[in-house]
């Protein structure tokens, strides 16, 4: 069996690697090729291009990359149409993958899209594109399959891979010792993994820490630095707020940082779900550029009551979330402080998040592999 793959960003790379390993367990001589990150390459995918080439996010930022991305997509389509794989799997990156999937499907190649786009939140019209692009959609959130069933689109809920892969029995004291954080209360602060996020939220988060330290000087803070180029930016933000001495910056490992924390303050996104799956009380902030916000309003705005994924998966919102103009240091500090001062609430949130994790931990890699093999055969 020969499978074509295109993944964008680190999250897609990990999904692809898990899928490759699970398919290989069932079909040892299966081969994989396409756009891959390091995890997919290690799992056995032949990389025609690097996944990071697709890692352009936002509403405005990708515009400068359009010519390059169109050339890449055109070359991939030509190559696979000339030599068709048994199945093509586009992993996330919908703006890139849907166009490719449509071309391949028209050429008679079976296509799957792994990770539903957020049609339930905004740009709901994209579901028409999904219908043209994919023979099958692999959903990682439980409410997504019903949406596709209503539209007559074949979809499978495979569960969320992180719910099965993240550690469950966390020894918080050992993690704090490893990170040299001591035994005082810890707040993990994650301003994002992209320069645009860190530039927008970092100063606000640093000032939030300053307010918290004025009220609770014993606090320790830990921030994982997603990429080396972000470290000097974050360091400058902390110095400007006068809180650098209370921060421990670590390279990359956001899971360790959140595992060590009593409360997590983060940029809403993938990290919010990770924090919930680690059963950590969390406060989330979401802010985009003024132009980006205007475009979102023009195309109908966000359709869901919450922007933080865990809040869409629980009976009541467990993560205080603050959006755009509400992202203010004093507001964020109050939300964090209320959680720090209420251990019973933190414990209840942890229990509720543990239940959420059980509902999502279905063995996504295996379920996805079985669905892809069925589609290919």
**Domain range list for the chain:** 2-159+362-376, 172-360
pLDDT of 61 strictly over 80? no
pTM above 0.95, yes or no: no
> Which numeric CATH code is attached to 2-159+362-376?
3.40.50.2000
Q: State the DSSP code for 301.
A: -
Which of 5-14, 57-66, 208-217 comes out lowest in average pLDDT?
A: 57-66
Q: How far apart are CA 203 and CA 249, in angstroms?
A: 15
Q: How confident is the model over 138-158, as pLDDT tens digits?
A: 999 999 999 999 999 999 999
> 281 φ, ψ to 5°?
-60, 135
Indicate if 172-360 has the same CATH topology as 2-159+362-376.
yes
Q: How far apart are CA 301 and CA 309, in angstroms?
A: 17
CATH 3.40.50.2000 fits 172-360, yes or no: yes
Task: Tokens 């990429």: give the residue.
Answer: 227
Q: How confident is the model over 254-304, as pLDDT tens digits?
A: 999 999 999 999 998 889 999 999 999 999 999 865 545 444 455 455 566
The pair of three-digit structure tokens given for residue 79, joined into one six-digit string: 């190559």
- Please enumerate in sequence order all residues whose Cβ is within 8 A of that of 40, keeping only pairs 6 or more positions apart, or say none: 5, 7, 13, 16, 17, 20, 32, 47, 51
């Amino acid at each position: 069996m020969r499978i074509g793959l295109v993944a964008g960003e680190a999250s897609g790379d990990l999904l692809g690697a898990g899928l490759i390993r699970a398919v290989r367990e069932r079909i040892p001589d299966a081969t994989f090729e396409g756009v891959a990150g390091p995890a997919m390459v290690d799992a056995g995918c032949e990389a025609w291009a690097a996944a990071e080439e697709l890692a352009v996010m936002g509403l405005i930022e990708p515009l400068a990359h359009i010519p390059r991305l169109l050339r890449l997509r055109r070359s991939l389509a030509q190559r696979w149409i000339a030599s068709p794989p048994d199945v093509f799997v586009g992993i996330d990156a919908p703006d890139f993958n849907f166009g490719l999937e449509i071309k391949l499907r028209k050429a008679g190649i079976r296509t799957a899209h792994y990770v539903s786009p957020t049609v339930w939140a905004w740009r709901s019209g994209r579901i028409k594109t999904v219908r043209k692009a994919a023979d099958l959609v692999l959903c990682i959130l439980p409410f997504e399959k019903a949406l596709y069933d209503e539209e007559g689109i074949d979809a499978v809920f495979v569960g969320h891979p992180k719910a099965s892969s993240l550690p469950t029995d966390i020894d918080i004291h050992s993690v704090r010792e490893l990170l040299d954080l001591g035994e005082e209360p810890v707040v993990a602060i994650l301003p994002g993994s992209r320069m645009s996020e860190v530039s927008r939220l970092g100063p606000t988060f640093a000032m939030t820490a300053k307010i918290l330290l004025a009220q609770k000087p014993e606090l320790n803070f830990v921030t994982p630095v997603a990429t080396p180029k972000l470290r000097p930016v974050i360091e400058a933000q902390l110095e400007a707020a006068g809180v650098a001495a209370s921060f421990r910056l670590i390279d990359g490992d956001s899971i360790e940082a959140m595992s060590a924390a009593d409360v997590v303050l983060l940029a809403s996104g993938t990290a919010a779900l990770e924090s919930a799956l680690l059963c950590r009380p969390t406060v989330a902030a979401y802010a985009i550029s003024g132009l980006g916000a205007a475009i979102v309003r023009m195309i109908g705005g966000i359709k869901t009551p919450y922007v933080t994924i865990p809040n869409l998966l629980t009976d009541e919102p467990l993560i205080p979330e603050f959006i755009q103009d509400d992202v203010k240091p004093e507001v964020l500090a109050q939300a964090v402080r209320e959680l720090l001062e209420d251990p019973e609430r933190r414990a209840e949130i942890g229990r509720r998040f543990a239940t959420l994790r059980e509902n999502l931990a279905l063995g996504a890699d295996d379920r996805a592999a079985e669905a892809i093999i069925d589609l290919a055969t």
